């Protein structure tokens, strides 16, 4: 009996009927549906689903089903990638670059549960903060981006960007976004960064509102090791934010190291739509 992890985003107001339909379909296919033990949901209680702690949820799972938007899939990927568990998403978000299914595609779960699908591997990044010789690694790898900024109110920051130990440039900007190809269609795109084919392995560094026309987005190889050094913002605090969740304050003496992670996100694909057609449809979505 296959263990299927089910994660739904409460903030998306997912209809109970949709949640029931997915659970009933998985049960009818002979699956054990696993849920987070801290997720208090009336629909879950109706089915007496198997509850697991955060540490055990993805252990031994064959698949993760996410009902929500891209943010929900990114959150699930940060943990499931450690176990190599593929993810399929039902889109309840606004754009849905990462989600493969809509509720009208419910019958495709038959194929997915039987293993009749392809997986699309997405590169992830590890972020480390080196302080006084000690390495503090951000707990989860990021699927989208790591952002240097000074907080909710944008102010001019100064920092140096290094690649493989060599200085790339000194920056005067509101910050910088270091993204994966997956993250190239998110915050990086909004800041003027390039759209990168999602299955490539590379790292994109996009300055935020740079105060020089010569400071442009740069695409580095996937094997590059980037470092942000000497980051300061007058008397304001500086932060590194990973995938919009992990927020860590840094000092001018800290070194932020960003490199390719050994973990990868595996996205389930059962449709024929490729990246180009998906990109066209999503960017033109109103």
- Which residues does residue 131 pair with via DSSP β-bridges, in sequence order? 134
Could you tell me the two tokens for 105? 């595609």
- Region of residue 30 (left: phi > 0; alpha: psi -120 to 50; beta: else): left
- Which residues does residue 208 pair with via DSSP β-bridges, in sequence order? 175
Largest Cα span, the chain: 60
Instruction: Report the distance separating Cα 99 and Cα 91, nearest Å.
Output: 5
CB neighbour list of residue 68: distance below 8 Å, 6 or more residues apart: 7, 8, 9, 12, 14, 89, 90, 92, 93
CB neighbour list of residue 83: distance below 8 Å, 6 or more residues apart: 58, 59, 61
Which residues have a catalytic role annotated?
Answer: 70
Contact 112, 63 (CB under 8 A): yes
Instruction: Report the distance separating Cα 270 and Cα 158, nearest Å.
Output: 46
Contact 150, 237 (CB under 8 A): yes
Contact 54, 79 (CB under 8 A): yes
Could you tell me the two tokens for 138? 């951000």
Going by C-alpha positions, the residue among 271, 124, 120 that lies closest to residue 199 is 120
Output the CA torsion 212→214→219→221 (10° steps): -110
């Amino acid at each position: 009996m296959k263990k299927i992890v089910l994660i739904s985003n409460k903030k998306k107001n997912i209809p109970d009927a949709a949640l029931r339909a997915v659970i009933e379909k998985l049960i009818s296919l002979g699956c054990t549906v696993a849920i987070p033990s801290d997720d208090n949901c009336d629909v879950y209680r109706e089915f007496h689903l198997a509850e697991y702690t955060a540490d055990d949820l993805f252990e031994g799972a064959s698949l993760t089903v996410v009902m929500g938007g891209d943010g929900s899939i990114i959150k699930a990927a940060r943990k499931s990638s450690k176990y190599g568990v593929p993810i399929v998403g039902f889109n309840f978000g606004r754009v849905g670059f990462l989600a493969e299914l809509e509720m009208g595609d419910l019958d495709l779960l038959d194929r997915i549960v039987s293993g009749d699908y392809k997986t699309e591997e997405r590169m992830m990044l590890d972020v480390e903060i080196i302080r006084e010789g000690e390495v503090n690694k951000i707990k989860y790898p990021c699927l989208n981006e790591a952002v240097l900024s000074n907080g909710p109110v944008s102010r001019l920051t100064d920092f140096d960007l290094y690649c493989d130990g060599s200085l790339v440039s000194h920056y005067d900007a509101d910050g910088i976004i270091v993204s994966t190809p997956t993250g190239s269609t998110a915050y990086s795109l909004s800041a003027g960064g390039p759209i990168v084919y999602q299955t490539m392995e590379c790292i994109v560094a996009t300055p935020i509102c740079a105060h020089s026309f010569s400071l442009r987005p740069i695409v580095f190889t996937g094997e590059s090791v980037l470092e942000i050094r000497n980051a300061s913002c007058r008397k304001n605090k500086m932060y590194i934010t990973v995938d919009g969740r992990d927020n860590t304050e840094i000092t001018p003496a800290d070194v932020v190291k960003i490199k390719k992670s050994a973990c990868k996100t595996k996205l389930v694909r059962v449709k024929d739509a490729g990246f180009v057609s998906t990109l066209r449809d999503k960017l033109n979505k109103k």
